[in-house]
Structure 1
Amino acid sequence: MKRIHFILIFLCPFLLFSQSKKGFKIPDSLKNKSTQYIYNAYRDAYQIDNEQAEFYANVILSKGKKDNNKDLLYDGYYKIARIKNLKGENGHPYADSLIALVKNKTYKNYPSNAYIIKGILYNNEGKYKDALDQYSIALKYSPKDDQEFFYRIKLLIGILKTATEEYKEALPLFKEYYEYQKAKIGTRHEDKGAYIGSIFSLANIYAKCEQYGKSNELIALGIKECKKYKIYSQYNYLIMLKGINNYYLKNLPLSLRYLQSAERLLRKNKDYSNLSILYYFIGKVKHESHLEEEAIRYLIQSDSISYAIQDYNPVSRDGYEIIIDYYKKKGDIKNQLKYINQLIYADSAIAKTQKNLSKEIFKKYDTALLIKEKEGLIKTLNNRNSIYIWFILFLIICSGLFIYIIFENRKKIKRYEKHAKDLLEKIDHRK
């Protein structure tokens, strides 16, 4: 039955995944709106309000089905898969539906784009080999003279190299993509959203290369261009990156200001993956500002989100070390043990999802030491529990003895009283 169910899903993508919202209908207010209006509405919501962006992606898909418009149909599937992924939901069914529709066809940029979105989903899940495999298939189907596609693949390879911490190798790829998008501005081929995205990507890789000055220059440009073109999909991430850069530059008050500015929009957008990283950096700022209680609160929030969405980032690993050390100083063995377990779990998750990383992250608490420390803490807890148990037993025994002594004393007193009474009666009788 499972095999039949899988075949039905593969052969009938429209049956199960025709819309991401069950029973979705285009509202009357949008039925007469132009396609460009819907695309602009989607663009304005993308990475700002992903619930709204998914709504417009469904409108695009519905219009594609209604008008038998392949552009809209395929793009609807693509956009829903992308938005689902941004929201931490499963975008693969929509990517698979798209691949099933366009496989072995040569219509426009499909099936290249179908395999690209599949690769993006894998990349965001840390499955880098699978992502690269999908990009390779996309290249196979791509038009040979398509410059846009060529540079887009370069961008995606740059993102993969960033994930594998090959920052110097990734930098020229992001530079090329930025120069390409910049050169298109003012021409009929311009893509302002992609141009602003290229600014963020280049700013981010400069930050990874620890060139925070250059990164901040690009962030300033990106913020300016967001306001100029009224395209804000990257605005919040530019602000967040500015906060992270200032943390590394030790401008802690400025860092905190930018990070807190980004927090509200990340929460609204349900971007929990980046919110977890943001809380980690706020925790680090608080920690280095000697505000320990606040630091621990934010670092614990970061861990809670990572656990809830099962997405762990190596950059936030030392947050666990700070939490463990904090509880160690307080003598709180239970919480110390809890976050040692959390760190072991995070390490295993990172190892599982990022097993293709070419470099290892530095580990103050390596697994062997963590397990040893964990066993020691458990032993300490067991010893403490044993002491408590023996102490309680001792109290019970003492209480029992005390009660027994009182009971025996009362019996003796009664015997003495009876004996005295008998003596008095004998004396009275003799009289």
Structure 2
Amino acid sequence: MRFFITPVFIIVFLFTIKFSFSQERSQQEIIDSLKQKSYDELKLLYNNNIYDTLNAFLYSSAYLEKAKNDKDTIHTANAYMQLGDISKFEIGMKYADSVLLITSNINTKSYPARGYILKSYLQYNAGDYINSFKNLIIVNNYALENNNSWQINYVKQSMAAIKNVIGQHASSLESHKKIYYLLEANKNKNSSTFFEYMDALHNVSSTYINLKKTDSAEYFINKGIVECIRYKDTLNYYRLISTSAYNEYFKGNYKAAIDSLDKAFPYNDDQNARINYYLYKGRIARDLNNTEEAISHFKKLDSIYEIHKDPIRALPEVYRTFIDYYKEKGDMGNQLIYLDKLIAADSVLDANFNFLNTNITKEYDIPQLVAEKDKLIEHLQNKKVQSNIGLVVLGLLLLLSGGLFFYYYRKQRTYKRRFGYLMQGARQRGKITDAKTKTENQGITGISEELIKKIIGGLNAFEQQNEFLDPSITLNSLSKKLYTNSNCLSKVINHYEQKNFSNYINDLRIDYAVEQLKTNKQFRLYSVKGIAEEVGFNSTESFSKAFFKRTGIHPSYFIKRLEKESI
């Protein structure tokens, strides 16, 4: 095919080239003029324009060229840190590598630890939580060695953020609140801690949302919005507007949630914000029975995951929505596609979260306790505290440390023993098995023997047909099904099972779950949330509590041990 180049095309082409060179020359002239400023002046200009990427790039580029001309390693590393902070993931990681390359043979109070901080920060934002955690451990080792309090606090805040991701919300909130109140006293925008303060405030409100404490979340969100308006902080303002949308969703205020999501969307271009936008838009549409709209939003979320492979905690929920949607349409091909995606996502999430749950405790939490113990011992020795009070405190601390380790290993042995009992025992269906035997010698006041036999027979059928898996079952609905009233049914269950109706149903469901996990390998592929839904529980938390109450171990531990036994 032949192309004809017109004079107009040539003019436009030459103008574009000229404009490009002109713009490039203009930027270089700006950088050259900026190099006359001091490092402190350039750093202040960068900090004041951190949300204006173009200007921030010019200031950090001038900082870099000035540092290279001066052959100053530390200032060169500082410039790479600035450029990495405002760059996309791939380029940012290259800047982090450059920091580590030029600081590998030095060990100052800040470097090379800051290079690992940049890596961890970028990896966290990209959803690579395991490598983010590993780099935080390296930072923590340097920080402790150099007694760098800022880096120690940074690691604490970052570890709390990872704990939030893997579901350790209560522990995360405790850490975030400590950091928040520490930074609140010095929060003016010219302070170097302002950005950390805004991050801490956002983290506290997000963690309250995860704990479903919407009123507390709203308090901190509104406090943050006031600060953003006061200091004209546009980026954090729209970040908090998004967070407000998530909070409104859990309060059931769907219109307010949609308004906030749409208001913030044009200003949030990072990956996590886009994921959450489509997740919550999809959830709202699904809850309002707008299934087609929900599927449309979830498909966009799925496409982001396919590109970035960020282990999104809500993925199983999204894929189950797809499976139900295509099941209703009779589309078995797409059902299979999303079943495969669900299994793969569960596997990725389990690998990430099991690793992090185990290693955060082993590599961070326990060493923190040991370090605090050693610090106190050193303090007592340096001060030559010989008083009985000092010895008692030291003894108690040693006893506490030893107790923590002893408790951990004893708990593991206990769990292992309870696991063995579960593996040896057969499924128990309760005590209601032989109406005749049970009613000959034991009566219930106010209920005839004939009615007791009838109720027990109905309960036996109810158990054998696994009707307890229905999440909508209630004492009232079951009594109607057995042609009796709730009072009589409750008395029979209380008398023969020695438990109330709720515990009776929960125990049947847990026994069923245990048996399925032992005998059905496909069942083990479900997440804990998926298993909870399969056996009739409305939430993962209620399932986990009922499982532990019935078996003495957590469902995640039971599944992990089953997998280990099957290898």
- TM-score, normalised by the number of residues in structure 1: 0.68
Note the alpha carbon deviations across 1:291-325, whole angstroms, 9 max, x for none.
22211111111111111222230124312211221
Alignment match, 2:111: 110
Question: Structure 2 matches for 1:116-127, cutoff 5 A?
Answer: 116-124=117-125
Letter of the 2:69 counterpart: K
Contact 1:240/1:259 (<8 A) preserved: yes
SS of the residue 1:68 aligns to: coil
Residues 321/44 of structure 1: CA separation in 2 closer, same or farther (3 Å cut): farther
In structure 2, distance between residues paired with 1:51 and 1:325: 46
Q: What are structure 2's unaligned runs of at least 5 residues?
A: 1-23, 359-525, 535-567
Letter in 1 for 2:312: N
> Which residue of the other structure, out of 165, 168, 186, is the alignment partner of 1:166?
168
- Residue 261 of structure 2: aligned partner: 259
For 1:105-184, list aligned pairs within 5 A.
Answer: 105-124=106-125, 128=129, 130-142=131-143, 146-184=148-186
- How much has 1:113 moved relative to structure 2? 1.5
CA contact (8 A) 2:85 2:118 kept: yes
Q: CA deviation at 1:348?
A: 3.7
Aligned in 2, Cα 1:50/1:340: closer, same or farther, shift over 3 Å?
farther
Q: Which amino acid aligns with 1:362?
A: V
Residue identity opposite 1:332 in structure 2: D
* Residues 19-418 of structure 1 aligned to structure 2 (within 5 Å): 27-33=28-34, 34=37, 39=43, 42-43=46-47, 46=50, 57-84=60-87, 87-89=88-90, 91-124=92-125, 128=129, 130-142=131-143, 146-185=148-187, 191-266=193-268, 269=269, 271-358=270-357, 361-364=527-530
Indicate conservation of the 8 Å contact 1:273/1:311, yes or no: no
CA change 1:24–1:123 in 2 (3 A) is farther
Check whether the contact 1:174–1:198 (CA below 8 A) recurs between aligned residues. Answer: yes
Q: State the shift of 1:174 in Å.
A: 0.8
Per the TM alignment, residue 242 of structure 1 is displaced from its structure 2 partner at its CA by 0.7
Q: Residue deviations 1:359-406, cap 9 Å, x none? A: 99534389x9xxxxxxxxxxxxxxxxxxxxxxxxxxxxxxxxxxxxxx
Task: Name the CA distance, whole Å, in 1 between partners of 2:40 and 2:337.
Answer: 53
Letter in 1 for 2:256: L
Deviations 1:27-50 (A, max 9, x none): 31343234567546644665x566
Higher relative contact order (CA 8 A, sep 6+): 1
Q: Tell me if the contact between 1:280 and 1:316 (Cα under 8 Å) persists in the aligned partners.
A: no
Q: Which residue number in structure 2 is paired with residue 394 of structure 1?
A: none
Going from structure 1 to structure 2, the CA distance change for 1:351 and 1:314 (only over 3 Å counts) comes to same
Counterpart of 1:220, as a letter, is: N
- 8 Å CA contact 1:237, 1:262 repeated in 2: yes
Aligned to 2:76, the other structure's residue is in SS state: helix
User: Against the structure 1 CA distance between its residues 121 and 361, is the aligned structure 2 distance closer, same or farther, given a 3 Å change threshold?
Assistant: farther
| Cα drift, residue 357 of structure 1 | 3.9
Larger Rg: 1 or 2?
A: 1
Is there any run of 5+ residues in structure 1 with no aligned partner, and where? Answer: 1-22, 369-431
**Does the C-alpha gap of structure 1 residues 140 and 256 become closer, same or farther in structure 2, counting only changes over 3 Å?**
same
The aligned amino acid for 2:221 is I
2:102, 2:150 → 1: CA distance? 23
Tell me how far apart the structure 1 counterparts of residues 280 and 197 of structure 2 sit (CA, whole Å): 28
Please tell me whether the aligned partners of residues 152 and 177 of structure 1 are also in contact (alpha carbons under 8 angstroms). Answer: no
